Amino acid sequence: MDTGDTIRLQLVVHYDGSDFHGWQFQPELRTVQGVLEAALSRLADSPRTVVGSGRTDTGVHATGQVACVDLPSRWLARDLRRSLNAVLPRDVWIERVEHVRPDFHPRYEAVRRTYTYRVGTAPEAASPFHGPWCWPVEHALDPSLLHSAAGLVVGTHSFRSLAKTGQPERGYVCTVHQASWGEWEWGMAFTITANRYLHHMVRYMVGTMVDVARGRRPLLDLTALLEEVEGKETSPPAPPQGLFLTHVEYPVDILPDPVRHPESRSSAKA
């Protein structure tokens, strides 16, 4: 990122992932990072790099992705939010812009991330006005089995059996702080908060839990997967369109001295 007479600004980003090849910039492909960088470069009249809190895959959505960018110090948070939303495409929207510390990093300083996965059990879930943002299974799910399954994943476990194959740099152990199922308008939604995630981990969890709740496999299978019992395989992953990154949590010290940037505390209502 830039140095010198610049400020670092944090963006809270919403996007519909349906027409994106994920978050991360890829030449010749439409990505969220690429769209944001193009818009910011246009506004700043110079190339800009956006750093996100993490990657989302093709088809995954966000209502709480966090990113940051360095811009000339003349920019005010409220002005940037207004200008960005004026030039961004309809499937990306900036909820909030705030000044942050010059050395703030949205990925490495995140302490928890929350995802929600929507499963559609009502016939209406298959409508073109709902289906792109949920997994329409159109089958009843046993709520008690879903709640029991969610409780099993809370805590510190190896999630190797519930993730895409391949050795991650930081190993397979993650700490799940909260996991629960609740109702949404057309079905059930799974919400999970953890310190980190393995690739496709939430989607494999949901795919397996839905199979349990439909009576396709016993609840004990999930315990066996967490214990890495030999020969036990996960269910296929749930499709990407039901998954939303909803919140990224940071320590309280990411904001700068409010005397230096008194308008930076919130631009959401600007």
**CATH number assigned to the domain comprising residue 169:** 3.30.70.660
- 225's enclosing H/E stretch is helix 220-226
Does 59 fall in a domain? yes
- How far apart, in whole angstroms, are the C-alpha atoms of residue 140 and residue 121? 6
pLDDT above 50 (res 268):
no
> 145 and 93: one domain?
no
Can you give the residue range of the structural domain that contains 66? 6-109
**Average of pLDDT values for 58-83?**
96
Residue 103 bears catalytic tag: no
Question: Quick one: pLDDT at residue 255?
Answer: 61
> 63 and 181: one domain?
no
> 70 and 175: one domain?
no
Those residues whose C-beta lies under 8 Å from the C-beta of residue 195, and which sit 6 or more positions away, are: 111, 112, 174, 175, 177
- For residue 164, name the pLDDT band (cuts at 50, 70, 90): confident
Range from 23-27, 243-247, 255-259 carrying the lowest mean pLDDT? 255-259
> 167 and 131: one domain?
yes
Question: Quick one: pLDDT at residue 267?
Answer: 47
* Total number of domains in the chain: 2
Does 12 fall in a domain? yes
Q: What is the mean pLDDT of the chain?
A: 91
pLDDT above 80 (res 196):
yes
Those residues whose C-beta lies under 8 Å from the C-beta of residue 218, and which sit 6 or more positions away, are: 212
Residue of 2, 5, 45, 57 marked active site: 57
> 116 and 104: one domain?
no
> 118 and 211: one domain?
yes
Residue with tokens 């995140």: 110
The pairing of strands 92-100 and 61-72 is unpaired
% of the chain beyond a pLDDT of 90: 85
Cα 56 to Cα 63, 134, 231: the distances in Å are 12, 16, 30
Does 1 fall in a domain? no
- For residue 119, name the pLDDT band (cuts at 50, 70, 90): very high
131-168 burial code (b ≥16 CB/10 A, e <16): bbbbbbbeeebeeebbebbbebbbeebbbbbbbeeeeb
Q: Helix, strand, or coil here: 150?
A: helix
pLDDT above 80 (res 210):
yes
CATH assignment at residue 24: 3.30.70.580
- For residue 264, name the pLDDT band (cuts at 50, 70, 90): very low
- How far apart, in whole angstroms, are the C-alpha atoms of residue 270 and residue 264? 11
> 225 and 102: one domain?
no
